[in-house]
Amino acid sequence: MRFHGLDLNLLVVLDALFLERHVTRAANRLHLTQSAVSAALGRLREHFQDPLFVLVGGRMLPTALMQRLHPDIHQVLDGARGIAFANVRFEPGQARRRFRIMASDYVMAVLLPALRQLLAQVAPGVDLQLLSLVPQRGGEAGGLVDEALEQRHCDLVILPHAHGSERHPRQSLFEDGFSVIACADNPALAEGLTLDLYLAAPHVVRETGCGAQGSMEAEFLAGQGLDRRVAVAVEQFGLIPEFVVGGPCLATLHSRLARLYARRFPLRLLDPPLGFPATRQVLQWHACQDGDPALVWLRGLLAEVAA
């Protein structure tokens, strides 16, 4: 359909190019050929009399005009999605759809593999694209969720409730406490774990880089005026057991994650010597997709898996 000389179908291509910054990845996202996307970009450049993207270091960077256009394109496409999903039934067994989910590597490890296994049984045509959630210190409250849903077109975001957005609906998913992991044959813990032993031991922690938020247990300890020695800091939860096994290091992890690692590594699980508060993970989605029957179904499936 043309509107004042612009083929509105091309807006979908423009949005994909903005998100992927790569013609081939945009083509894969849209289930089109690379040549079709390149041709569409050519028509868009002709219409707007602007290159829209310039190639820098192998990436397509948006021009100033493209950066101004994208919020309006996003709004138009979101409105179109709302119309498209009106009064539509969703049949999981026949569905062909890819959901884009942002979550921490902790949530990915303890929740999303089970979701994928369930999808293979009830909705074999449904696929997942998983994006890493990295909270940033000093950002506007809820800004990470707003960006993920409004700019990066995520279908769902899973994150701690304290970092949620007030602009979009949310649903509690699960709560989790904390456990300490140690090497199974750590001789210093033969009599158990006391607060003095805990604070004196070397620790492995997750830190997400300069200016980024520290771990939740680190914030709690700081609030209690307690200090511990951080022997190793890594950016991924999945690396932590590698530095605990075979040595004196301890690590404080979400209990679900600690139990998962204890099944894979020679680890011993211990109760923390102080009362770390439980954390609550919530699920958020764009307000305009509140009635999308496919997302309603997927949210229910996630709640079932989390329980």
Tokens of 123: 């909705």
> 156-160 and 279-284 as β-strands: parallel, antiparallel, unpaired?
antiparallel
- Average pLDDT score over the chain: 87
Q: Which residues contact 278 (CB under 8 A, 6 or more apart)?
A: 175, 176, 177, 178
Q: Which residue has the tokens 């709690």?
A: 220
Between 284 and 15, the more confident residue is 284
Q: Give the angle subtended at the CA of 275 by the CAs of 271 and 281, to the nearest 5°.
A: 90
Within its chain, how far is the Cα of 221 from the centroid? 26
Query: From the CA atom positions of the chain, what is the Rg in Å?
Result: 23
Q: What percent of the chain has pLDDT over 90?
A: 49
What mean pLDDT do residues 98-107 have?
94
The pLDDT, as a whole number, for residue 173 is 95
The pLDDT, as a whole number, for residue 266 is 97
Domains 2-84 and 92-157+289-306 share a fold: no
The pLDDT, as a whole number, for residue 212 is 47
Give yes or no for residue 111 having a pLDDT over 60: yes
Highest mean pLDDT among 36-40, 44-48, 70-74, 118-122: 118-122
Spatial distance between the Cα atoms of 106 and 102, rounded to a whole number of angstroms: 12
pLDDT in tens, 133-166: 876 655 566 788 888 888 788 999 999 998 888 8
If one counts every other C-beta atom within 10 angstroms of the C-beta of residue 7, the result is: 14
Highest CATH level, class, for 2-84: mainly alpha
Question: How many Cα atoms sit within 13 Å of 82 on the Cβ side?
Answer: 11
Return the H-helix or E-strand segment holding 26. Answer: helix 23-30
The CATH topology of domain 178-277 is D-Maltodextrin-Binding Protein; domain 2 (3.40.190)
Tokens of 52: 């829209």
Q: What is the largest CA-CA distance in the chain?
A: 78
In the chain the first and final C-alpha atoms are separated, in Å, by 46
CATH architecture of 92-157+289-306: 3-Layer(aba) Sandwich (3.40)
Between 86 and 298, the more confident residue is 298
DSSP state of 111: T
Tokens of 113: 């593999």
Whether pTM exceeds 0.75: no
CB contact at 8 A, 135 and 107:
no
CB contact at 8 A, 42 and 51:
no
Give yes or no for residue 81 having a pLDDT over 70: no
- Structural domain spans, the chain: 2-84, 92-157+289-306, 178-277
The pLDDT, as a whole number, for residue 127 is 94
Amino acid at 20: E
pLDDT in tens, 201-233: 999 999 876 544 457 788 888 889 998 999 999
If one counts every other C-beta atom within 10 angstroms of the C-beta of residue 307, the result is: 7
Spatial distance between the Cα atoms of 252 and 270, rounded to a whole number of angstroms: 9
The pLDDT, as a whole number, for residue 211 is 45
